[in-house]
């Protein structure tokens, strides 16, 4: 299956076309840059160049896009672009969890924890043992995530921007600090996804930091009590 993957959820801006066969992903055209801002200006050009290197958009059978958890703005940019392109090409678009992508990016077959630094003393986390997810993605206090990771056993792989935070105090853990999922892992997950069960909708595990204004522009301040 030929797939296009889009990732703007974390610390990368990625657009890549891959041929996926028997669980192996071969890059046909790939553009990926470290980026936390400016995805909107760069993404379309990167996708165009990656597709051109792969022979064009016509052969793409499916589009995969990261749906979070991650940056609110980055997620919106990637989702809007992927859905617009999917509509234009008449191709299905599937959503891929950032945490699932991170876990699939780390080599090894032992237990794993995908961890994203969520600030405010928390990480976004999901845990795996024997290749099976141990529950849904969650927003956890760092100490709680450390306990859950330790319970997976010695040699647990901690993957993502929150790996070092959780790994402090776990000497037997293998820390894999990634800015985002590997494009190859996203391509494999995109090809394996069930479109009906993987909608391209954003995943938010915590309410946004921003709050709506208490008054409209030009509206007078309420009188002091």
Phi, psi at residue 26, to the nearest 5°?
-115, 120
Phi, psi at residue 159, to the nearest 5°?
-125, 130
C-alpha 113/C-alpha 111 separation (Å) is 7
Nearest to 41 by CA among 82, 74, 86, 85: 74
The verdict on 16 and 89 lying in the same domain is yes
The verdict on 161 and 66 lying in the same domain is no
Residue 222 belongs to some domain of the structure? no
Residue 85 belongs to some domain of the structure? yes
C-alpha 173/C-alpha 179 separation (Å) is 19
Residue 156 belongs to some domain of the structure? yes
Residue 198 belongs to some domain of the structure? no
The verdict on 26 and 125 lying in the same domain is no
Q: What is the pLDDT of residues 206-220, one digit of tens each?
A: 765 544 455 555 556
Residue 225 belongs to some domain of the structure? no
The verdict on 169 and 114 lying in the same domain is yes
The verdict on 153 and 43 lying in the same domain is no
Sheet of 24-34, strand order: 24-34, 12-21, 2-7, 62-66, 93-96
The verdict on 78 and 19 lying in the same domain is yes
Longest CA pairwise span in the chain (Å): 69
The verdict on 130 and 81 lying in the same domain is no
Domain residues for the domain of 67 are 2-98+180-192
Residue 217 belongs to some domain of the structure? no
pTM for the full predicted model: 0.90
The verdict on 10 and 89 lying in the same domain is yes
Residue 211 belongs to some domain of the structure? no
CATH number at residue 53: 3.30.420.40
The verdict on 20 and 71 lying in the same domain is yes
What are the average pLDDT values for consecutive 10-residue runs of the chain, which has 225 residues? 97 97 96 94 97 97 97 94 98 97 90 96 96 94 97 94 95 94 98 96 77 54 57
Residue 208 belongs to some domain of the structure? no
The verdict on 48 and 7 lying in the same domain is yes
Tally of domains in the chain: 2
The verdict on 186 and 80 lying in the same domain is yes
Q: 157, 106 in Cβ contact below 8 A?
A: yes
Query: Residue 135: its pLDDT value, please?
Result: 94
The verdict on 55 and 114 lying in the same domain is no
Query: Residue 208: its pLDDT value, please?
Result: 58
Tell me the sheet residues that pair with 19: 2, 26
Q: 174, 155 in Cβ contact below 8 A?
A: yes
Contacts of 88 (CB under 8 A, 6+ apart): none
Q: What is the pLDDT of residues 25-75, one digit of tens each?
A: 999 999 999 998 999 999 999 999 999 999 999 999 999 999 999 999 999
């Amino acid at each position: 299956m030929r797939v296009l993957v889009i990732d703007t959820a974390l610390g990368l801006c990625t657009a890549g076309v891959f041929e996926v066969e028997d669980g192996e992903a071969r890059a046909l055209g790939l553009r990926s840059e470290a980026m936390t801002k400016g995805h909107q200006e760069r993404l379309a050009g990167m996708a165009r160049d990656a597709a051109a290197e792969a022979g064009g958009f016509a052969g793409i059978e499916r589009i995969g896009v990261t749906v979070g958890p991650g940056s609110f703005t980055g997620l919106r940019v990637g989702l809007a672009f992927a859905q617009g392109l999917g509509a234009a090409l008449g191709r299905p678009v599937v959503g891929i969890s950032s945490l699932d992508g991170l876990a699939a990016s780390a080599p090894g077959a032992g237990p794993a924890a995908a961890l994203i630094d969520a600030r405010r003393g928390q990480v976004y986390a999901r845990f795996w043992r024997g290749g099976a997810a141990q529950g849904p993605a969650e927003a956890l206090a760092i100490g709680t995530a450390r306990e859950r990771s330790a319970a997976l056993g010695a040699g647990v792989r901690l993957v993502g921007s929150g790996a070092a935070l959780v790994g402090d105090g776990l000497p037997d853990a293998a820390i894999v600090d990634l800015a985002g999922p590997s494009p190859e892992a996203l391509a494999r997950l995109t090809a394996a996804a069930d479109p009906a069960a993987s909608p391209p909708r954003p995943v938010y595990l915590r309410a946004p930091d921003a709050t709506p204004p208490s008054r409209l522009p030009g509206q007078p301040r309420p009188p002091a009590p």
